[in-house]
Structure 1
Amino acid sequence: MMLSEVSERARRRRATVNLSRVLGCHRSTYNRRWNKLRTDFLRRHDLLSFSNFANESTTT
């Protein structure tokens, strides 16, 4: 995996955390909204990279 991919994923994860704070949503509510974006992500990327991204998103 290239360094740019790692930094991109880290930046995206921070952005989603900040967005959820700004919206003041509970985690579950935010996850339901995020599901639509996840399906788009899954269409554009292979299943393995999506699984890694999803795991990182839910554990932090």
Structure 2
Amino acid sequence: MPDDQATDQPTPAPSFGGGMSEKRKERGASWRVFIYIAGSHLLLGFLALLFYLGGHAGK
């Protein structure tokens, strides 16, 4: 009768959030946005520096 016991249990619902709470998801998204903004500013600052140095290069 072990088969009857296995079929009596309901199947668990799928968890799409990986078991994380909403607060933790929001915190992770906030950190990701901060990193993307900081990284893009560093990249653009580096490109601006290259353009500045290229424009002032003595040819």
More relative contact order in 1 or in 2 (CA 8 Å, sep 6+)? 1
TM-score, normalised to structure 2, is 0.39
TM-score, normalised to structure 1, is 0.38
Q: Which has the larger radius of gyration?
A: 2
